[in-house]
């Protein structure tokens, strides 16, 4: 912490398949977080995943434009006070490492491409800290752009975590890529879900 200060600025960035989120908060000495900034940009990175498994240059450029703006806000924060995670699209893209290197230069902090179960754990932590703790177990479902996470938890602890490779962007691309919705395609999407 800064001299004479009882708080510090921290940030979290979620590089999702559908949108990028950044939260900047003041962490008080008591452990309380006070929101400073909250940004969401619908970059649709998963929509740029080509059939060969590579992210298109257009999708990468759009995502990097967004991250250049995010970087202006967090680049000068101390290492360790920023966590940046990449989710499903960056897990499956064959050129994710190239994108991550470019993004890290803009953000000034390392990017961690997390497993589906780690993504589920982080989702549950966010929900548990953002909602009043209740007695008993609860189910949290996070339908993202490229994956869906299912978490059973109690209080602040996740007990069972699973991540499935189906999300709103990946399902739309798989079943309705040309925009045509037919009964057969809808049935396939429902069975997959």
What does each of the 193 residues of the chain score in pLDDT, given as a tens digit?
444 457 899 999 999 999 999 999 998 888 788 899 999 999 999 999 998 999 999 999 999 999 999 999 999 999 999 999 999 999 999 999 999 999 999 999 999 999 999 999 999 998 887 666 667 899 999 999 889 999 999 988 999 999 998 888 888 888 998 889 999 999 998 898 8
- pLDDT at 168 (0 to 100): 87
Q: Do residues 148 and 130 touch, judged by C-beta distance below 8 A? A: no
CB atoms within 10 A of CB 159: 11
Dist. CA 150–CA 143, nearest whole Å: 9
- pLDDT at 133 (0 to 100): 64
- pLDDT at 2 (0 to 100): 47
Radius of gyration of the chain (CA): 18
Residue carrying structure tokens 């590579």: 54
Q: What's CA 125's distance to the chain center, in Å?
A: 13
Phi/psi for 123 (5° steps) reads -60, -45
DSSP output for 76-91: TSPTTSEEEEE-HHHH
C-alpha angle 17-100-27 in degrees, rounded to nearest 5:
80
- pLDDT at 1 (0 to 100): 45
Ramachandran category for residue 191: left, alpha or beta (phi over 0 → left; psi -120 to 50 → alpha): alpha
- pLDDT at 132 (0 to 100): 65
Q: pTM (2 decimals)? A: 0.85
Give the pairing type, strands 7-15 and 20-28. antiparallel
- pLDDT at 162 (0 to 100): 94
Dist. CA 119–CA 113, nearest whole Å: 9
- pLDDT at 176 (0 to 100): 92
Report all structural domains of the chain as residue ranges with CATH numbers, in order of start. 7-113 (3.30.420.40), 134-192 (3.30.420.40)
- Burial of residue 79 (CB within 10 Å: 0-12, 13-18, 19+) is exposed
Dist. CA 122–CA 3, nearest whole Å: 31
């Amino acid at each position: 912490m800064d001299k004479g200060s009882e708080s510090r600025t921290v940030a979290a960035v979620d590089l999702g398949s559908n949108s990028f989120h950044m939260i900047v908060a003041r962490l008080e000495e008591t452990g309380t977080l006070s929101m400073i900034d909250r940004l969401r940009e619908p970059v649709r990175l998963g929509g740029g995943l080509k059939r060969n498994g590579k992210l298109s240059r257009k999708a990468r450029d759009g995502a990097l434009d967004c991250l250049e703006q995010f970087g202006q806000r967090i680049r000068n924060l101390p290492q360790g006070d920023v966590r940046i995670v990449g989710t499903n699209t960056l897990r499956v893209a064959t050129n994710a490492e190239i994108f991550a290197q470019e993004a890290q230069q803009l953000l000034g902090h390392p990017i961690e491409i997390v497993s589906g179960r780690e993504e589920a754990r982080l989702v549950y932590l966010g929900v548990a800290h953002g909602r009043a703790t209740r007695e008993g177990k609860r189910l949290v479902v996070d339908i993202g752009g490229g994956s869906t996470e299912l978490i059973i938890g109690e209080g602040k602890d996740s007990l069972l975590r699973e991540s499935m490779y189906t999300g709103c962007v990946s399902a739309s691309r798989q079943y309705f890529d040309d925009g045509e919705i037919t009964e057969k395609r809808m049935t396939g999407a429902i069975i997959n879900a």
